[in-house]
Structure 1
Amino acid sequence: MFMSDQFENQNLSVAVLLPCYNEEVTIGKVVRDFKASLPDATIYVYDNNSTDRTAEIAEAEGAIVRREPRQGKGNVIRAMFEDIDADVYVMADGDDTYPADAAPAMVAKVLEGYDMVIGDRLSSTYFQENKRPFHNFGNRLVRGSINGLFGAHVTDIMTGYRAFNFTFVKTYPVLSRGFEVETEMTIHSLNNNLRLFEMPIQYRDRPEGSVSKLDTVGDGIKVMSTIFRMIREYKPLPFFGGLGLIIGIVGIVLCGTVTFEFAKTGVVTHFPTLIGAVMLVITGLLLIIAGIILDVMAKNDRKTFVIDTNKIAYNKRH
């Protein structure tokens, strides 16, 4: 009741966002659970071309049902963020794997000033509940890669249970089309130094009769390609500079072998090696220069992002 009174006193609006594809087994319970935990919130179910009774059941339980024809979770989240205005957003899945009773605490953290609150599965029951070993391995791999690159300590990079403030939702560019969108959100937040808070939650595996839409190999490849792309865009100097340094060193070593041979014999007998080595050195230098230029552009993009978020926050207050 405290959270309900707090919403009313501050005249705050809360939106629960549930992207769904063929979740008729669980969506009714999920909607009821969020209604019980956040009685003053508006619950939105976005049906992503379901072929079962997902939309019908959600509507019967009192949710606002909308349809998104572009297939993929990223497309659904993009539509949600574009369409819905609220002070606080809670995003979960319709498969009943995330506990709705954690939502009030997540909303409270957003109200404290955090841009995004992450429902951390990995610190609690995820590895016991999730029976898919490749998913567990993938979570560890993605977490290590991103934390190492950004010098961060985020535990659960890929969780689908999150809460956001208005400014985050309206300034976050959703580029991914599928399940890799959660990874993209985390990288975007770390790159722009947003205020993140991780809250451990009790994850539970899908109930019997509910079928996962994840493709372990396919979605894993998409996630890794997203990480590769965002490293290239957000950290261009380490990416291009490191690549250029490796290529340049190889070229210098080859040049050294030809030079050493010339010093001993006075004759250059391996002209193709010399030409290739010089081209490698030039390519390495060009990559390093490109990395420096793109790094300056990335910093300018971050400055623009801060200015845009400040404008949105100011306009919302006034």
Structure 2
Amino acid sequence: MSQPSERLGQSVAELRKLRGMSTRQLADRLDQLGHRIAQSSISKIEAGKRSVDVDDLMALAVALRTTPNRLLLGGRAGTEAISLTPKVATTAHRAWAWADARWHLDSQYDTDTPQAERADDFRRHARPTDLRLREEHPAARSAHALWQLVGVLVATMESNGPTRSQMNLLDGDPATRAAQLAEARNAATRDPVMLVARALSRVDDEVNALLSEAVGELYQVDAPEFAGQTVDGVRFDARGTAFVRPGTALLDTMIESNHAVTRINAETLTHWLRVNMDRFFDKGSREVPTD
């Protein structure tokens, strides 16, 4: 069973080599970052013969373009057992879920909080409040469940469906996991493709509900002559479509001039976003613009 210092040393060596760096080059990179670790010390870290403090850990993660979690927990997230302290061990998958604030460690040494309250207590304190509140929205939770089930689908492509051990790789509160296990064991939904399809349907419903709440009263205006232009502060897309709130002069003008004006719903807005996705994503990289 691997120990934290052992995993960290192995991770540093593995990532350093993947980056094509020598220990000398890594030492130079750390020096450029303002945190000096001698070349000989890097070799000792990789061999598990030198301790690493928090400042070392952060600097190594930055230098190797990774995260502290990756250095501490290693590059696998399966069912193999790993040690977190001399008396606490878990699977690599559970350790990653814990480090990502997705699952609490149900340790026998945690006696300060009643067992039934530990999951909620962990969620309240493991993530910044603003992020946690966003992630706990029903739409976000449904999307996360879909993401997990896609992982199960990938893991079971050549099997007869998800086994209990594979479904146990899911994280979440006990009630949610119990429901997922029950659903997976149901003969009608044992097919992992069906599981993903059902989860996708739930995400679609939740996101449409979210959009409906966010959109409120909104109107679609179609004016091809204004394609690509900004009129009264409203931007028309390449097809001459814009979305306008009621009570604006532009909306009144469009109605008076007999332009096509339609009150929209979440489904309409979702369709428009899909059609115009190239406005938000670079066609080459498909990455979200940073500016």
TM-score by length of 1: 0.29
Larger radius of gyration: 2
Between the two structures, name the one with larger relative contact order (CA 8 Å, sep ≥ 6): 1
